[in-house]
């Protein structure tokens, strides 16, 4: 587990870009109907954006807050674009995304608190 966390901290930019790409592709992929998956749509948004924020929050560069604001704006743009790809624009999705981003930050803080000397400083 610690090795994975150190990997995420070390390669936080590429990890974040990969997660952001996956979220964007899945959010803007045209669908005739939403797939039947367990859990609610809002929970999926919450988890996806929590995972998106985690690498940045673990590394916490000096401009981490601007990255978080960018994620909120990106999420809003995706919601606005979804009606053009046979999807729905929902304000509740944006709210779930923002709560997920905040939760990702809080999880990173919890990890750093629980494992203060286990994460490398790179």
| Band of pLDDT at residue 120, cut at 50, 70 and 90 | low
- Establish if 83 belongs to a structural domain: yes
Is 16 domain-assigned?
Answer: yes
For residue 105, being part of any structural domain is answered with yes
In a domain, 120, yes or no: no
Q: Is residue 95 part of a domain?
A: yes
- Domain of 17, in residue numbers: 2-28+39-114
pLDDT tens by residue, 77-98? 999 999 999 888 899 999 999 9
Q: Is residue 44 part of a domain?
A: yes
Any domain includes 23: yes
pTM across the whole model = 0.91
Q: What angle do CA 99, 100, 102 make, to 5 degrees?
A: 65
Tell me how far apart the alpha carbons of residues 96 and 102 are, in angstroms, rounded to a whole number.
Answer: 10
* CB-based contacts of 33, cutoff 8 Å, min separation 6: none
């Amino acid at each position: 587990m610690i090795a994975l966390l150190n990997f995420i901290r070390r390669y936080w930019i590429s990890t974040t870009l990969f997660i952001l790409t996956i979220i964007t592709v899945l959010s803007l992929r045209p669908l005739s109907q939403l797939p039947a998956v367990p859990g609610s749509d809002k929970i999926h948004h919450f988890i996806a954006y929590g995972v998106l924020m985690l690498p940045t929050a673990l590394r916490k560069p000096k401009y981490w807050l601007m990255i978080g604001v960018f994620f909120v704006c990106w999420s809003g743009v995706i919601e606005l674009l979804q009606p053009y790809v046979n999807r729905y624009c929902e304000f509740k999705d944006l709210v779930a995304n923002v709560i997920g981003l905040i939760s990702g930050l809080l999880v990173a803080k919890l990890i750093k608190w629980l494992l203060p000397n286990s994460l490398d400083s790179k």
